[in-house]
Amino acid sequence: MTLLGMNTFTAPALSAIGFYQRWLSPYKGFRCAHAALYGGESCSVAVAHILREQGLADSGAAIGARFQACRVAFGQLSPGPQVTGGARVRGVCCCGPLPIPFRCG
């Protein structure tokens, strides 16, 4: 599906992911937990694929499932209790509390 064939909300969402991948992700200092644990696509790549396949309006459940899988992967990569509420968390995750000071890969 081309950007022209998408609804008016899907194309901006894909553009935002592209901006994140180009200008933010290389400098954030950590890696997607799902990709670090299982290999394969990062969450941003997977979500962009879901959006291209299903469109923004129909992709909520699939995107939510991917982020939940990433949270589970984060839990497997980060032994011990998770600290939230503004505290720093050691680990690898695109879905956990930020900033995460540990780099994987």
List the domain boundaries for the chain.
8-105
Distance, first Cα to last Cα, the chain:
32
State the DSSP code for 4: G
The rounded distance, in Å, linking the Cα atoms of 47 and 17 is 8
Percentage above 70 pLDDT, the chain: 70
CB 1 within 8 A of CB 50: no
Name the more confident of 91 and 9.
Answer: 9
For the question of whether the overall pTM of this predicted structure is more than 0.75, the answer is no
- Token pair, residue 23, equals 């200008």
